[in-house]
Amino acid sequence: MRSYYYDETTGEDQRLPHDSMEAVSLEELSLLGVSYWKADSIDQVDKISEERNYKNRDQIICSRTAMGDIYEEKLKTFFEEHLHEDEEIRWIMDGSGYFDVRDGADKRWIRIKVEKDDLIVLPPGIYHRFTVDENDYIRAMRLFKDEPKWIPLNRSEENDKNPSRKAYVELLNRSGLAV
């Protein structure tokens, strides 16, 4: 896993690195509520799942081959800025991609490169987006506390008032990262 501020000036292709060369540390991500583990076995994933009460899981393959005609449409959906009311938990089983999360001031994107064996947790209420990288392939295990669901709430004034968003903003305020 590697994270840095997203360079908005490096072109439009979301799959490119957009690397500003301004690194963001794991500690800084932690202040935003983002958690990370290196998990090179299913046993490690099972242990983390038990500790964090993740009861359900499934797998997703994001590639042209696996998704066929809906691939480009799905990538656009994943890359639309959104939040979830639950944690977004992903263990990367193969391939690579990027999660982008908003910084504490809600001004700049932080790009998080994820690759095989990375396990990342985004907190409820954080605005984020996802894309594969130039390899156009990622296979990930999605973990859930309850029944598997993936409901994106796209950024809007209405969703800024969502209880999970309000709780997340309060977390940032307590951390001294006012939005």
> Whole-angstrom Cα distance, residue 177 to residue 153?
23
Residue 82 assigned to a binding site: yes
Residue 18 assigned to a binding site: no
Nearest C-alpha neighbor of 135 from the set 16, 10, 7, 5: 16
> Whole-angstrom Cα distance, residue 179 to residue 175?
11
Nearest C-alpha neighbor of 38 from the set 114, 122, 135: 114
Residue 88 assigned to a binding site: yes
> Whole-angstrom Cα distance, residue 28 to residue 105?
13
Phi, then psi, of 72 in degrees rounded to 5: -60, -40
Q: How far is CA 70 from the centre of its chain?
A: 21
Output the known binding site for Fe(2+). Answer: 82, 84, 88, 128
Output the known binding site. Answer: 82, 84, 88, 128
Output the known binding site for Ni(2+). Answer: 82, 84, 88, 128
